[in-house]
Amino acid sequence: MATFSNSRALSNLAVVLVSIVITSLVTPSAGNFNTDVDINWGDGRGKILDGGRLLTLSLDQYSGSGFQSKNEYLFGRFDMQLKLVPGDSAGTVTTFFLSSQGDGHDEIDFEFLGNASGEPYTVHTNVYSQGKGNKEQQFHLWFDPTAAFHTYSIVWNSQRIIFLVDNIPIRVFNNNQAIGIPFPTNQPMRVYCSLWNADDWATQGGRIKTDWTKAPFTAYYRNFNANGNVCASGSNVGSCASKSVDSSSSGSWQTQELDAKGRNRLRWVQQKHMVYNYCADVQRFPQGFSAECKRSRF
């Protein structure tokens, strides 16, 4: 029994060390915020600094702030390095997500739910297709996301969506249209990022409110990289697929899936760091779970 526990501890330590090494090595080929995004709300609370290499969003009692990519994409890999609001971040939500617009929209979410000082952030993930979500999985990270920048990535292709943290997969949402589960395949999406107040639900179910004496709250973004099929505004879907944002790229995201090592890392994250899974919430779904929940996560 002791041997098994020690082996597991060493295995967990190995994954953490790999994460640290990857953090230092995985630096997406960075774009420039001056040319790649528009700060679309916040009345000056979003700022592009350091020649376009850094973007800060701030939140006070009057407003949050946000930005969006200039381009729309149909499939791709999207990387962003974030350093989250430090200290007492209760009530705040920092985001990095893809979304289309209008009724029946598609959306792929990374949301970082703040907490009281000393308590862990919750990483909230969700997938919407044709306006329907309810696919939430939540995690606590194995590092302090406020102490340094870490890379958060979304891989979206026609077969699956992969959520990664420092290139470690934390979640895979497969295309299960064959069994009637909607999957985002035909609506171009922009990248959106924001910092806003959600103290009615974000921290411990809304029990802990935002402490405005700590405002302004600030989140930091850098090294935005979007490698995907760029869609001209108002174009039809067919014209998106032939245009890549980076013609020199290998386009590995188009067929990316997990190998044996990736599945082992995913299993480790989901067994050790997952704190909520819609596929296990009997109280919320007493009528039974969605059909994809019966398939292996790994």
Residue 209, C-beta contacts closer than 8 angstroms, at least 6 positions apart: 90, 91, 199, 203
List 72, 111, 136, 292, catalytic entry: 111
- The active-site residue, picked from 72, 107, 119, 136, is 107
Rounding to the nearest 10 degrees, give the CA dihedral for residues 164, 165, 167, 173: -10
Is the peptide bond preceding residue 145 cis, with omega within 30 degrees of 0? no
The CA-atom distances, in angstroms, between 133 and each of 109, 125, 158, 178, 278 are 10, 10, 18, 18, 11
Active site residue 72: no
User: Residue 27 class from Cβ within 10 Å (0-12 exposed, 13-18 middle, 19+ buried)?
Assistant: middle
Place of tokens 């599945």: 263
| 111 labelled catalytic | yes
Pairing of strands 65-69, 107-113: unpaired
CB 245 within 8 A of CB 226: yes
Residues in the chain, overall count: 298
Picking from 85, 118, 87, 82, the residue whose alpha carbon sits closest to that of residue 97 is 82
Rounded Cα gap, residues 37 and 22, in angstroms? 26
Active site residues: 107, 111
